[in-house]
Amino acid sequence: MTVRQGAARFAKGSLRALRLLAKPVRRSQGRAGTVVETYRGYGSRDEVFLIGRVFRQSQRAANAPDEGWAAELRDIRRRITRRKVAGAVLTARFFGCEEQVVTDRDGYFRVHLRPNLPAPPQASWHSMELDLAGPEPVRAKGQVFIPSADCRRVVISDIDDTVMRTGVANKVKMLWRLFVEDAENRVAFPGAAALYRALYAGPCGSEGNPMLYVSRAPWGLYDMLSEFFVMHRIPVGPVLFLREWGLSWTSPLPRRAEDHKRHLIDHMLALYHDLPFVLIGDSGQHDPEVYAEIVAAHPGRVAAVYIRNVSRDAGRLEEIAKLAEAVEAAGSSLVLAADSLAMAEHAAEQGLIARSAMAEVAREYGTVPETRRHAGRTRARALRKVLDGAGPTPPNVIVEPGRSDPPA
């Protein structure tokens, strides 16, 4: 790469970073710049949940340019100086139920409704009406996902280093990919999109299973992640972030996400009390530990745990191997896989996806299923032997009840 090319790439990346930081709602809904911003909600036929935020931002001048450095810098100023609206009263309406909610000190509101009328059993997405009385009247709509009558399980997945490469283990690379690269340039793991489509469809192809995603990213990247999902044809579901990073003059640093993932999954297990779960995460953070705790606390509720192996440290793999044995003892399965194809192979064997979906996963992965079937797989109890002779590629480890010998 030449110096000129490097400079051009840096300038392009910097402008992209400005666009991400300048991502306010471009069209104010109220006369004085008041915005009701909603995030995808979720629920069952008994109760639904939706999160949103109310804030005020300065209006864009009628003759102001829409593109370029000046436009992005102006919108960054609009975002940083936008003012949360605390204590605002909104009325939420959903299938015959009406309730008033009040924004908290950061301008967020949380809707929890119990519908009086049944939602159509074959539809998944439903509209919730929201009316803000003041400081300026605003009407908005939110989207709520309710599983259809055909769904058979719930999938909860991490996003960072599980669906897309963010390099959580490398903090500098993670920040660059998180804030600079746009949806088009963010790399989905090969085969991940096809695997998620297969889990969404289920073995019969029409289940429409709930896909609930968790991320360590701030709410400000919500639109970018949505674009990433659409671009890679990943089934869209409620993106449930763990924290608000609070980009403002008074709160410039991210807030802690202590135990939020565990509490979130416990809440989902209670909400979808009649459905089994599939949990997907990565080895770089605390997903294996959190998921093992979930399996132990809710025996029989987790059909499988899939951990994308992004670790090359033997000590970390041994830690996960011990957790895998605990998951097995609790009657579930754990797959520690360096690639999506090994996860798909196990999911097909367990009846979580259609066997015919393996071909699409393999196409995205770039190989033929038969050439990779069971390759590199071992039981956790034999992991030390694998680690002793491990090459540059992390091993795939599958542990499941009733299997006493390593798969052939």
| pLDDT value, residue 145 | 93
| pLDDT value, residue 97 | 94
* Bond prior to 135 in cis (omega within 30° of 0): yes
β-partners of residue 215 are 241
Architecture in CATH of 154-399: 3-Layer(aba) Sandwich (3.40)
| pLDDT value, residue 149 | 87
| pLDDT value, residue 195 | 93
Counting as low any pLDDT under 50, the low residues of the chain are: 168-172, 174-175, 178-186, 245-258, 368-392, 404-408
| pLDDT value, residue 114 | 93
For 319-340, what is each residue's pLDDT tens digit? 888 888 889 889 899 988 888 8
Strand blocks (E) in 75-233: 83-84, 89-94, 97-102, 108-113, 125-132, 138-145, 154-158, 211-215
**Burial code of 66-94, b = ≥16 C-beta within 10 A, e = fewer?**
eeeeebbebbbebbeebebbeebebebeb
Which residue ranges make up each domain of the chain? Answer: 27-145, 154-399
| pLDDT value, residue 152 | 94
CA–CA distance from 54 to each of 162, 253, 350 (Å)? 31, 20, 45
Q: What CATH number was assigned to the domain covering residues 27-145?
A: 2.60.40
Cα angle 13, 7, 187; round to 5: 35
| pLDDT value, residue 363 | 87
